[in-house]
Amino acid sequence: MTDSSGQEPAGGRAGGAAKQVPRAVAALPRHVRDDLVRRLRRKGRPFDKGDVQVVEEPMLKRAVTASALGNCMEWFDFGVYSYLAATLGKVFYPGASDAAQLLASFATFAAAFVVRPLGGLFFGPLGDKLGRQKVLATTMIMMACGTFAIGFIPSYASIGVAAPVLLLIARMVQGFSTGGEYGGATTFIAEYSPDRRRGFLGSWLDFGTFVGYALGSALVTVLNFLLTDSEMLSWGWRLPFLVAGPLGLIGLYMRLKLEESPAFQKQLDEHDQAVAQRETSRHEFRTILGTHWRALLLCVGLVLLYNVTNYMVTGYLPSYQTEVLHRNGTTADVTVLVGMVWVVLLITFLGRLSDRVGRRPVYRWAAIAQIVLAVPAFLLLRSDGWLLPGLGVLILATVLAGFAAPSAATLPALFPTSVRYAAMGIGFNFSVAAFGGTTPLFAEGLVDLTGTGLMPGYYLMASGLIGLVAVRFMPESAGVALRGSQPLVGSEEEAEELISTSRQLRTLGATRRQ
């Protein structure tokens, strides 16, 4: 039976309850609605203005820019080191064979990742207690100093074995500071981002990552083109590292101008205040390992999925093409550089997509694509010419963008505000140290051991399968407020909309209980 408007009366049985659901409530994704219901039950009342934080747009833009610049500087160095791996092997390990030089160079590269968990363990608790901004300013200057120092290290021919030792020390300074950098930057940017836009704004962090890598690799490509091999070995390799000094000062200036994130300033919502007091009275790491071990395992799995692909493409492909496939260095450099530019173009689009369809679908389809396409991509890489190898790199770069885009929004959402920085420092850096930074070394070792140039593709397939399991169990966080933090919105109008929706949800819940 219908009325004159063609709609069923509100008191009708069939679909009556559904017709009474307000449009704003019905439009909410199920996981967002469930999270709001849980928060309302804890409060025992709808939200008011004191329960919703509004982030100012100018400060939000400054926070995103400063965080992205830090990652840009870190990965500028990474791109430089990856593209100069063969050259650095000749400078610091001249007595070894070509294969041994490359392995030694990658071993020095991987050694920096050994101390990353130590950096995370040191800086993480400081970030949770002293504030994100202070720690991020410290890691920025340490990272710049470590990179800048590499440019001044004498060669093996000048000071003998002390040269690779000094290189190792400089890399370990970089690794220690980086242990507090990415986890802190993702935490900082996630705590500044409105809940509905966290995927898009977080993707700018890794946008800075790949811009930095592209700039570093582009600089090395230009130097290789302009200088002779002897000039590169003599002094040309130093120039990219020396650029890190001015970049670090710029990044430090921007970070010192930032205010603390809204979530850290507010610290915790009413529900988590007692939890925070209990946690500060106990050992923080025991709390993380004992209470948040499931989230920690998910963090390790998702970081493995992202970073094995990341370091395979950015850290290993340049040397793979020159040393394994014996391809011209310029060709190898340009194909990977084009792949990085493609990631830069894709990443914010995919970040925005993760806000609309969810983080899990983006991760899932990227993992499936990696499992299916990794070996075909390496078959294309082994082809002659530019076109097919370039297509192989673009396939891997597209998969990489699918992992990178949602990561800065997904990983911090696994942990509550009170332990977020420290937990990210443990989970992220352990996974990167164990699986990410060792990827070039393991990939080169497998190729050298088996004589099979497709081993890196099989390695990517294995990481895709492990990552797919992690995606299966990860909670969907798109549009949901961070754990232990108040809902964060981008405008007063959005705050009023959320408050109104909370009232409707509260009324609907009361009606259904009657």
Neighbours of 428 (CB within 10 A): 29
Distance of CA 337 to the CA centre of its chain: 19
| Range of lowest pLDDT (6-15, 43-52, 59-68, 222-231) | 6-15
* Check whether domain 54-278+293-508 has CATH 1.20.1250.20, yes or no: yes
The pLDDT of 434-446, averaged and rounded, is 84
Phi/psi of residue 54, each to 5°? -110, 125
Q: What is the spatial distance between Cα 405 and Cα 155, in angstroms, rounded to a whole number?
A: 39
Beta bridge partners of 76: none
Task: Count CB-CB contacts under 10 A for residue 24.
Answer: 13
Any idea what DSSP says for residue 251?
A: H
Only one residue has tokens 């799995």, namely: 301
Contact 52, 503 (CB under 8 A): no
Helix (H) or strand (E) holding 488: strand 488-489
Asked if residues 485 and 417 have their Cβ atoms less than 8 Å apart, the reply is yes
**pLDDT tens figures, 210-229:** 898 888 888 888 888 888 88
Measured between alpha carbons, how far is 110 from 132 in angstroms, rounded to an integer?
27
- In total, the chain counts a number of residues equal to 514
Residue pair 174/164 in contact by the 8 Å Cβ criterion: no
* Report field, pTM of the whole predicted structure over 0.85: no
Task: Say which residue the tokens 């393991």 belong to.
Answer: 442
Please provide the average confidence, as pLDDT, over all residues in the chain.
82
* pLDDT per position as a tens digit, 132-157: 677 877 887 888 888 888 889 998 88
Q: Read off the tokens for 234.
A: 């003599």
120 band by pLDDT with thresholds 50, 70 and 90:
confident
Q: What kind and span of H or E run contains 489?
A: strand 488-489
Average pLDDT over residues 118-137: 76
The pLDDT tens digits of the residues spanning 371-396 come to: 999 999 999 999 888 889 999 999 99
Question: Both tokens of residue 503?
Answer: 């009232």
CA distance 514 to 507: 11
Tokens 């209470």 identify what position? 291
Whole-angstrom Cα distance, residue 339 to residue 392?
Answer: 9
Distance CA(161)–CA(184), nearest Å, equals: 35
Burial of 414 (0-12, 13-18, 19+ CB in 10 A): buried
Q: Residue 509 has what pLDDT?
A: 67
- Average pLDDT on 116-144 reads 77
- For 443-499, the pLDDT digits (tens) are 888 888 888 889 999 999 999 999 999 999 999 999 998 887 888 888 888 889 888
4 Cβ neighbours under 8 A, 6+ residues apart: none
pLDDT(209) > 50:
yes
Residues 199-208: pLDDT tens digits? Answer: 999 999 899 8
What's at 253, amino acid-wise?
A: Y
- Listed in sequence order, the residues at least 6 apart from 141 whose beta carbon sits closer than 8 Å to its beta carbon are 248, 252
Our separate counts of H helices and E strands in the chain read 26, 2
Q: Please give the Cα distance from 111 to 132 (Å, whole number).
A: 26
The answer, yes or no, to whether residue 438 has pLDDT greater than 70, is yes
Q: How far apart are the first and last CA of the chain?
A: 25
397-410 per-position pLDDT tens digit: 999 999 999 999 99
Two tokens, residue 166: 């000094």
82 in Cβ contact with 217 (< 8 Å): yes
